[in-house]
Every structure is written in structure tokens, then in C-alpha cells.
Amino acid sequence: MTDSLDTRSIIEQGQLNFTVAPKRQTIWGGREAFVFSLEGIGVGVFLAFMLAGQVTAMITGLGLLALAVLLLLSHLGHPSRAWMAIRNVRRSWISRGTVMIGFFLALGGLYVGSFLLPGSGAREALAPLPEVLLALAGLFILLYPGFAMATSPAIPFWNNGLMPILSLANGLASGGLILVAVAATTKASPVPAPLDTLVAGELLVLACLTLFLASYIAVMRRAGAAAQLSVRVLLNDNRGLFWGGIVVVGLVVPIVLVATNLSVSASDLWFGVAARLVGDVALRHGLLKAGVYDAVL
């Protein structure tokens, strides 16, 4: 049965067809991939500069996160009904993620305010509680898109425990590379660690992301028919997006530029940041586009 199925047998979601065959999901696409990436990048930037007390960078991170929320609300069609996105916290990872993003924005705003209004001593008195809470909330936000996809049993390609890890590594790689580029560009500005340490950490995260992605595809190639079809959709039907956007632009270019950071200029590192951000969105978009409903489910 598996060998007889190919990507031409996939029915588009919403198409009137009474044949029992795998169906491609079309509900989540480019917009959701961009929103998930913005959330991860915003959280990554905020947390990367939180310990260094970089107020401008933290504000930028909160701004990116707020922009992701606005894009999500515009997708709902009726922003006035946005409260409905949090009414199913017990069962929906999207609802849980929405609540946690609101918490992160509120606490992050108060934390930044403590830098802009010095003298109260509140930050010193509460330390390290705000930092710990923000780190835990940020970790949740980086993970939840993967959990939202992994808890979709009807799409076997997403229903894997590695999906949240991929989401986490993707966001950390993007935020970490921004930190490396800032540290290399403005060496006088405070950063959480020396540049060499940041470079080593970023290379480790990029290597882990590459390994996780390769492992994920290898596992899915040995899964059921629908999961195998999803792999073919990702690697063959969307080969330009996968090999060009995800692998070359999103992984190879950043790895090469970070690994040779002593021989490249700061502008080259920022080119690597741009490539990594493109790869961030491309990876999420590719995984979403490859989602195929199981014919039975």
C-alpha cells in the first residue's frame, strides 16, 4: 500500500472527493509560519539580552512579539472576539500559547519599566524571580508551536515528540545569532558572555537543529503511508523551499559565517542573521505545507 501511494494521490483539503485517500492540510500555511517565527525571534531576542540589561534590545523583542500577536488577531477575522482564543486553555496549545504570550508581554513590560524608572529598588528586591519567570515563559512560547502540531493525530507527519524540540532549537538559533552579531558589531556594549563563548553556543545550537531535522525526516521516512507522503511533499514537491531555503540559506550559510567569525566582517554576520531568519520561517512553513491527513483518520 505504501509503495503505491505518491504525492499525486493527495486530495486538497476542501475538495469534494469521495475517494479514500490522503488529504493535504491547507488551514495552516505561510501566515502561521511567520507568526510562529516572530514569536520565537521576539522571545529569543528578549531573553538573550535580558541578563545584560540591554533595554533597547529587550524592547525590540517585546515589539516583535506584540507584532506576532497583532498578525494572529488579524488572522482571526474578528479581533473583538480575540478572547475566544484563550477560552480552551485546558485542551488547546494555541490557547495556552496565547495566554503565555500575554503573560510574557505584561511581565516583560514591567521588567523593562524597572530599567527606565530606576531608584525604586523593586528589580533588586525581587531578583531573580522576574528573570526566572520570563525564562520559563519564554521556553514555553518557544515550545508550544511544536506541541500544537505534535498533538494532531490526524496528521502523522506532525505527530512526533521531536516537533517541539525542532521549534525550540529553531527559535534559539535565530535569537542566538542576533546576539552574536550584536556582540561582534558593538563590542563595547554589555553582553551576557564573551564573543567566543557566544559563537561556540550558537554553533552548538545550529548543529543540534541540523541533527534534529535530519533525525525527524529519517524517522518519518519509516513511519506510516501518510507520514512518508509528507516527507516526499517536503523533499520533492517543495525541494526549492527545503534544500534552498531551509538547508542552504537557513543552516549552511549561518554555520559557515559563525564558524569563520574571526575572518568575516560584522556585516557578514548580519547577512547570516538575515539568512537564519529566512530559514526560520522556511522551516516552519515547510513542515506546515507537508502536513497530510491520514486516509483512515
pLDDT (tens digit, 9 = 90+) per residue, 156-180?
A: 999 988 999 999 999 999 999 998 8
Q: How many CA atoms lie within 13 A of 44 on its CB side?
A: 26
Q: Where are the domains of the chain?
A: 7-293
Instruction: Extract the runs of DSSP E, i.e. beta strands, from 55-169.
Output: none
Asked whether the beta carbons of 199 and 261 are under 8 A apart, the reply is yes
pLDDT range class, residue 200, cuts 50, 70, 90? very high
Per-residue DSSP letter, 25:
-
Give pLDDT, residue 18: 45
Q: Is 77 left (phi over 0), alpha (psi -120 to 50) or beta?
A: left
> Is the previous residue joined to 128 through a cis bond, with omega within 30 degrees of 0?
yes
145, amino acid identity:
P
Predicted confidence at residue 3, as pLDDT, reads: 43
Could you read off the pLDDT of 93-125 as tens digits, one per residue? Answer: 888 888 899 999 999 999 998 888 766 666 666
Rg of the chain, C-alpha, whole Å: 20
State the Cα–Cα distance between residues 254 and 153, nearest whole angstrom.
34
pLDDT tens track for 249-280 = 999 999 999 998 867 777 888 999 999 999 99
Kindly list the strands in the beta sheet with 23-24, ordered across the sheet, starting from the edge strand earlier in the chain.
11-12, 23-24, 292-293
Residue 24, beta-bridge partner list: 12, 292
Q: Which residue has the higher pLDDT, 116 or 137?
A: 137
11-12 and 23-24: which strand pairing?
parallel
Q: What value does the mean pLDDT take over residues 74-95?
A: 66
- For the entire predicted model, the pTM comes to 0.84
CA 179 to chain centre: 16
Asked whether the predicted pLDDT for residue 8 surpasses 60, the reply is: no
Residues 145, 100: Cα–Cα separation, whole Å:
12
Pick the CATH number of 7-293 from 1.10.10.10, 3.40.50.300, 1.20.1630.10, 3.30.2310.20: 1.20.1630.10
194 vs 86: which has the higher pLDDT: 194
- Report the chain's mean pLDDT, rounded to a whole number: 84
Judged against a pLDDT cut of 50, whether residue 2 lies above it is answered with no
